Amino acid sequence: MTDIKSFIRTIPHHPKQGIMFRDITTLLKDPKGLQLLVDGLAEQYANQKIDKIVGIEARGFVIGAAVAYKLGVGFVPIRKSGKLPAQTIQQEYALEYGTDVMEIHQDAIAKSEQVLLVDDLIATGGTAMTAVSLINQLGGNIVGCAFVIDLPDKGGANILLAKGLKVFSLCQFNGE
């Protein structure tokens, strides 16, 4: 099987010195890459009951909606503050400097629905944990958290696992 990592471009020192930025746009723009990504994630959950896939703005939208289509389930966006037009619930989260707020529509998930959380990348896990909290507040059961890329050095996947969540990623990058 073609290695999905070979489609991902690394941009050294972006957005700042010492950060190896993993750019999935080179994966997405390749027809074979996009198929590998969507099929790889969908396959992992093909035999599980899922009602909704939740994707986190903005790269999680690209991946989440395509996987939702493939699995024949609904797609729900989690957005930055002020972007969703109907009633929302909010959750604050920490940034490197200061805080920000993520939102989900109150009626996006019904109680006890089975939810798969999808994003492009798991690093420290801050964004994912905020999304988990929003889904739980609406009464959703989180079937799993799926990512294209895991950065194990950053520890986010372990934080999710420690909360009893199931985590899957298509590939991992260490400090290479």
- Catalytic positions are 59, 96
- Give the whole-angstrom CA distance, residue 147 versus residue 149: 5
Nearer to a second copy, 1 or 164 (CB): 1
Q: How far is the CB of 162 from a second copy (least distance, A)?
A: 30
Nearer to a second copy, 10 or 158 (CB): 10
Nearer to a second copy, 31 or 164 (CB): 31
Nearest to 103 by CA among 119, 120, 118, 86: 86
Strands (E), 38-105: 52-56, 74-80, 88-94, 99-105
Nearer to a second copy, 65 or 159 (CB): 65
- Give the whole-angstrom CA distance, residue 118 versus residue 92: 19
Q: How far is the CB of 12 from a second copy (least distance, A)?
A: 11
Q: How far is the CB of 164 from a second copy (least distance, A)?
A: 26
Q: How far is the CB of 166 from a second copy (least distance, A)?
A: 22
Q: Which residue has the tokens 């073609």?
A: 2
Q: Which positions touch a second copy (CB under 8 A)? A: 9, 11, 14-15, 21, 23, 25, 28-31, 33-35, 38, 52, 55, 57-59, 61-66, 68-70, 72-77, 79, 83-86, 105, 108
Single-letter amino acid code for the residue at 64: G
Expressed in percent and rounded to 5, the helix, strand and coil fractions of the chain are 35, 35, 35
